[in-house]
Amino acid sequence: MDETVVSVIPSGAGHREIRRNNLEVVLRHLSLAGPDSRASIASRAGLTRSTVSRLVGELMDLGLVRETGPPQAQGIGRPATMLELDGRHILAVGAEVNVDYLAVLVTDLAGRELYEQRRAYDAIADGPGDSITALAGLCREALRALAGPRGRRRPIVAGLTVAVPGLVDAPARAVTLAPNLRWAGVPVAGQLRELLELGPAPVSVGNDASLAAMAEYRVGSHAGTSDLIYITGEMGIGGGIIVAGRPLRGVRGFGGEIGHMKMDPEGPVCGCGRRGCWEALIGLHAMLRLAFPGGPGHHGVAAGDPPEAKAATVARLARAGDTNVLAALAGIGRWVGIGAANLANVFNPRAIILGGYFTLLADWILPPAAGALAEGVLAPEAGGCTLTTSSLGFSAAARGGAIHVTDQIISDPALLDSRSQGDRGPLAARRG
């Protein structure tokens, strides 16, 4: 028989695989549906009540599920005790390296935010080595702030996922190419592991737009929208694509580089070296170049300012009626809509969500963008696509990183056994 055919024939599941799957069913249900009873979980999952009770007992022993609130009546018989996702001692760390800032965001298993910090930073000037060292320092600050007991349990770092604006080799946990950072072949995860003692907790690397799209799908204002596209609004323009509730990454994981769609062959040079990319027309630097022909410094905008500070200055001038700024934003909006129309024609998403600096300038960018979208989509009413802005702002990618970590634990709670800490624990980071 052909070896390729053999490789796709599923093998029988053993006891461990069945147990892992059933534990995930319970956790995933509580994660997505919210508090529920044992009986309701059993009914919806197609499991027996005794099986669910046993699974819940294991999850409660791990501190991942807890009983909450007064029992609720469910027909005839005793009231049902409600269960909810717990995991307050589980630390899921999401981080981000971008052109002009670093970020870290920590949640527990239920997605409750425990810590967030963003810091202006010039990653281009410092290069990959120093940038990763600085990010490790930011993560160290977060973990030290959360080092105390959480409830009756010692905190466990479940993992760290770093978002980077570029092509990521996920299996190698490295950045293949990040033009705007000027990085190529950087083993991000390996360098972070050398700087932080995380024990067996995994360190992963992901594309910033893909992680942000997952965050929007899970917890953003359009949470649950099974077909959406997220567009970063940074110096670079990237795309995270969700199709039927699943991320679309491509054969080698390099999908979503929508910022490098060629829009104008005679347009400005992009950071990738090509001319007329969408990024070169609507990225943050493109917007600043159009808004401030004499240079942003004349308006108090410094190169080292974080992106939200730069956008805030533009918003202030737009509100004051600055004609040059208003014309620049109208032009940006038109190009946003033209590119969004191309995406809508190809993917027919329910929503295209603009993140980053677009969220702060939506009042001026969205109207012309929506008009260009409607004009450019072949299907009537833009094919049912809504163009809107992110509710997560600049934290979307880091939050997506934290979600990636919690997903791993929800998929296999037994991983926590191997991530329980020794005497020093993962929160004791090396100083160096």
Residue at token pair 């001038």: 317
pLDDT of residue 126: 95
Rounded CA-CA distance 63/85 in Å is 9
State the average pLDDT for the chain.
90
pLDDT of residue 420: 58
Rounded CA-CA distance 143/308 in Å is 26
Residue at token pair 């298993």: 109
pTM for the model stands at 0.90
pLDDT of residue 185: 97
Which is more confidently placed, 197 or 340? 340
- Percentage of the residues of the chain whose pLDDT score is greater than 90: 79
Written as six digits, the tokens of 216 are 């929007």
Does the pLDDT value for residue 284 go beyond 80? yes
Tens of pLDDT, residues 90-100 = 999 999 999 99
pLDDT of residue 111: 95
Section 206-220 average pLDDT: 97
User: Which of 83-87, 196-200, 333-337 reaches the highest mean pLDDT?
Assistant: 333-337
pLDDT of residue 97: 97
Does the pLDDT value for residue 299 go beyond 80? no
pLDDT of residue 17: 85
**DSSP label at residue 50:** H
Q: Which of 367, 332, 337 is nearest to 352 (CA)?
A: 337
CATH 3.30.420.40 range(s) for the chain read 90-211+396-419, 221-391
pLDDT of residue 6: 40
pLDDT bucket at 13, cuts 50 / 70 / 90:
low
Does the pLDDT value for residue 426 go beyond 90? no
pLDDT of residue 302: 80
Q: Does domain 221-391 have CATH number 1.20.120.340?
A: no
Does the pLDDT value for residue 339 go beyond 70? yes
Q: Which of 255, 207, 214, 229 is nearest to 388 (CA)?
A: 229
Rounded CA-CA distance 342/326 in Å is 25
Spatial contact of 113 and 135, defined as CB atoms under 8 Å apart: no
- What backbone phi and psi angles, to 5 degrees, belong to 41? -60, -45
Fold for the domain defined by 90-211+396-419: Nucleotidyltransferase; domain 5 (3.30.420)
pLDDT of residue 5: 43
pLDDT bucket at 418, cuts 50 / 70 / 90:
low
Rounded CA-CA distance 195/345 in Å is 45
pLDDT of residue 76: 54
Does the pLDDT value for residue 131 go beyond 60? yes
CATH 1.10.10.10 range(s) for the chain read 3-85
Tens of pLDDT, residues 139-155 = 999 999 999 888 788 99
Tens of pLDDT, residues 354-379 = 999 999 999 999 999 999 999 999 99
pLDDT bucket at 425, cuts 50 / 70 / 90:
very low
Q: Considering the domain 3-85, what is its CATH architecture?
A: Orthogonal Bundle (1.10)
How many C-beta atoms surround the C-beta of residue 117 within 10 A? 16
pLDDT bucket at 424, cuts 50 / 70 / 90:
very low
pLDDT of residue 55: 94
